[in-house]
Amino acid sequence: MNIKEEIISKLSLEEKIRLLSGKNHWQTVDIERLGIPSITVSDGPHGVRKEYTAEDGSKKTHEAVSFPTSSTMASTWNPELVREVGKALARECSRLDVDILLGPGTNIKRTPLCGRNFEYFSEDPLLAGEMTAAYIDGMQSQGVGTSLKHFAGNNQEYDRNNVSSEIDERTLREIYLKPFEIAVKKSQPWTVMCAYNRLNGIYCSENKFLLSDILRDEFGFHGIVMSDWWAVHDRAKSLKASLELEMPFTEGSAEVLRAAYERGEVTDEEMDAALERLLTIVYKIHDSRRIRTGEYDPEKQHMLAKEAALEGIVLLKNEEGILPVSKEKVKRLAVIGQYAKMPLIQGGGSARVVPSRLDSAFDRIVEIAGEDIEVDYVEPYVLWNAIPGVDVNKAIEAAVNSDMALLFVGNNYEIEGEGHDRFSMKLLPDMENLISRVASANENTVVVIQAGSAIDMTSWINKVKAVVLQGHSGQAAGSAVAEILFGAANPSGKLAETFPLSIEDTPAYGTYPGNGFAAWYSEGLMVGYRYYDTYNKEVLFPFGHGLSYTAFEYSGLDISTQVLEGKKKVTVKFKVKNTGSVQGKEVVQLYVKEMILRVIRPEKELKAFGKVELMPGEEKEIRFDLDEHAFEYYSLPRRDWHVEGGKYKLLIGASSRDIRLQGIVEI
């Protein structure tokens, strides 16, 4: 009998039931007489949102560094940078005595309207999975646990507590489960959080196929499953499905479990097995406190947040090379909009962090402009709600009298947040009207967007010279975007999701949000660029798109194969050269296309990516090694992954629609 078995044998039934749910809102149960410790969890995922009780009895939230949200982190296409952010988040947790941060979220962006898209990485499962794995690896290497969420099929907030995500098995495995699979196999999160919704009719908290058969048996998950808060409907069913920890504690749930045990519906073996898995993680986390660093440098934390923001900002449009701002051409600059001073750094809900500081884009713009550029600031609206007596004419006047207008717009916490979806892909009407009127007054108008998901820009995109997606970039967003605008930093972010022309063009448009009970994922595999590229649909900006202040040339594609241990390996090499005049980083993307189809497959699928930094004139060789997983699909007749023999096209691009090199390999 090992020590956990010995402890379990000494537990009363009441103690066992107590251990299987939270002690309170943020802690697990401790049993002092047996040496069972309590662990503390806290909201995330892009900062620590830990509550405390003030002296007056009111609930407060600790200040913490607010890093870029997952939507912006994904736009860096830089797993190593995400890993460093994970380490920094662990330092935040250590400072605030948090054992598990509730993140990352890796749900696929099925529709741009999902209110929590800012918390998720991508529409592509490979990119989402690799970013997620890096985040988990970074945090857990510092002795702080993660909770991979929301498992699974949580792709809308509307009716999330009841809706059933109806997803066929092939689509489920290739798209919606794949980022979880990558993260679990590569980084082994200590906990996984189940989603609120049903999956094919069964609540995720009670879904044995999902939590036990797939997550544990197939993916090899070794940690524990915890519920999202109040996501458990039947504690006995959830325990039998392999959910060890219900959060938070609810008296009624404990009574349900006790009654099911007394009726023989839950056995001692099932309860003890769950407790052994739970205690394994509890002791692991408790022991990991010894390796956590006591070092904490708020300035270094902030500068890492800024580095992540710089790499995640995407230059979407730059007509006539209007950016970076030229001190020779621009002598008077109009900065329009409150978000230039008070940026929207994140979405709303449980992910919202109280930032330890907040950089202002306007302050940094004034600093960089110095005495060379006169900067005017105008607030046409307060918090972007039209107020009687406040006229946009002030903004128009400033634009008319300036050489360039920088217009800051975006979605606030009420538009993008937990518990509700966006009502539109467009910006608020007042904002769209302001953009059009400013652009009419000044042909050199640049729009900076602060948002966590795709925006419909069709009413104004052709009226402005440049568009910068600042995203939800955390507390250093202001200084970061100012440095991008003035060329102190070269933009290197690329879109981790397609920007369609309108919501009507999206593949889920006909079935989102469902009928009040179910949402049918009838688009199947054709999510994001898989849909737009397969059916040759016009888009505003394609997946992987992002401009730079320099230019990159691709050349020298070389494809070779070898057989190792009976399996074919493909090595892809090519060169990338910086042909411009400034240092820059390029995101290179490799897509695979099956040339003769036996089953339905997308036009192309991302199978590898990398980010390379180059000085002017510098050239580097890029290498990708592909195994059979790069060519497989999930075969329903076989109920397994399958590689179809034949020819495949390998496409090397700067985006899904900017293919620079291509070659053929036979598998």
Nearest CA to 583 out of 542, 552, 606, 558 is that of 552
Predicted local confidence at residue 379, as pLDDT = 87
Nearest CA to 430 out of 459, 397, 469, 398 is that of 459
Q: Do 552-666 and 301-541 have the same topology in CATH?
A: no
Predicted local confidence at residue 148, as pLDDT = 98
**In contact, 311 and 76? CB cutoff 8 Å:** yes
Domain boundaries, given as residue ranges, for the chain: 301-541, 552-666
Instruction: Count H helices and E strands in the chain, helices first.
Output: 17, 30
DSSP 3-state assignment of 538? Answer: coil
Distance (Å, rounded) from C-alpha 484 to C-alpha 470?
A: 10
- Tell me whether residue 228 is one of the annotated catalytic residues: yes
Annotate 305-314 with b (16+ C-beta within 10 A) or e (fewer): bbbbbbbbbb
Predicted local confidence at residue 590, as pLDDT = 98
Nearest CA to 119 out of 74, 153, 163 is that of 74
Q: What's the distance, CA 487 to chain centroid?
A: 27
Into which CATH architecture does domain 552-666 fall? Sandwich (2.60)
Question: Which positions ≥6 away from 384 have C-beta within 8 Å?
Answer: 337, 338, 339, 409, 412, 428, 430, 431
Predicted local confidence at residue 277, as pLDDT = 97
As to burial, measured by CB atoms within 10 angstroms (0-12 exposed, 13-18 middle, 19+ buried), residue 597 is exposed
Which residue bears the tokens 């996501």? 231
As to burial, measured by CB atoms within 10 angstroms (0-12 exposed, 13-18 middle, 19+ buried), residue 396 is buried
Residues 99, 228, 359, 456: which is the catalytic one? Answer: 228
Alpha-carbon distances of 14 from 10, 144, 229, 504, rounded to whole Å: 12, 29, 22, 54
As to burial, measured by CB atoms within 10 angstroms (0-12 exposed, 13-18 middle, 19+ buried), residue 499 is buried
Nearest CA to 325 out of 468, 475, 433 is that of 468
DSSP E strands, 532-631: 539-541, 552-564, 567-578, 584-594, 605-614, 619-626
Any bridge partners for residue 663, and if so which?
650
Distance (Å, rounded) from C-alpha 234 to C-alpha 256?
A: 7
Q: What is the 3-state secondary structure (H, E, C) of 447-493?
A: EEEECCCCCECCCCHHHCCEEEECCCCCCCHHHHHHHHHCCCCCCCC
Regions in the chain scoring below 70 on pLDDT: 1, 3, 381-391
Nearest CA to 537 out of 573, 565, 499 is that of 499
Distance (Å, rounded) from C-alpha 580 to C-alpha 548?
A: 10
Which residue bears the tokens 């079935």? 511
Distance (Å, rounded) from C-alpha 30 to C-alpha 19?
A: 8
Distance (Å, rounded) from C-alpha 367 to C-alpha 516?
A: 52
Distance (Å, rounded) from C-alpha 278 to C-alpha 245?
A: 7
Distance (Å, rounded) from C-alpha 495 to C-alpha 187?
A: 25
Count other C-beta atoms under 10 Å from residue 53's C-beta.
9
Distance (Å, rounded) from C-alpha 611 to C-alpha 609?
A: 7
Predicted local confidence at residue 52, as pLDDT = 86
Segment 524-543, tens digit of pLDDT: 999 999 999 999 999 999 99
Determine which helix (DSSP H) or strand (DSSP E) holds 499, and give its type and residue range: strand 499-500
Predicted local confidence at residue 563, as pLDDT = 86
Correct CATH for 301-541 of 3.40.50.1700, 3.10.20.310, 3.40.50.620, 3.40.50.11540: 3.40.50.1700
User: What DSSP string describes 326-390?
Assistant: PTTT-SEEEEESGGGTS---S-BSTT--EES----HHHHHHHHHTTTSEEEEE-SSBTTB--TT-
Distance (Å, rounded) from C-alpha 205 to C-alpha 196?
A: 7
Predicted local confidence at residue 388, as pLDDT = 44
Distance (Å, rounded) from C-alpha 22 to C-alpha 142?
A: 24
Q: Is there a cis peptide before residue 125, judged by omega within 30 degrees of 0? A: no
Determine which helix (DSSP H) or strand (DSSP E) holds 253, and give its type and residue range: helix 251-262
Distance (Å, rounded) from C-alpha 434 to C-alpha 178?
A: 42
User: What DSSP string describes 75-126?
Assistant: TTT-HHHHHHHHHHHHHHHHHTT-SEEE--B-----STT-TTGGGS--SSHH
Distance (Å, rounded) from C-alpha 89 to C-alpha 351?
A: 13
Q: What's the distance, CA 360 to chain centroid?
A: 24
Q: Which two tokens stand for residue 535?
A: 């059916």
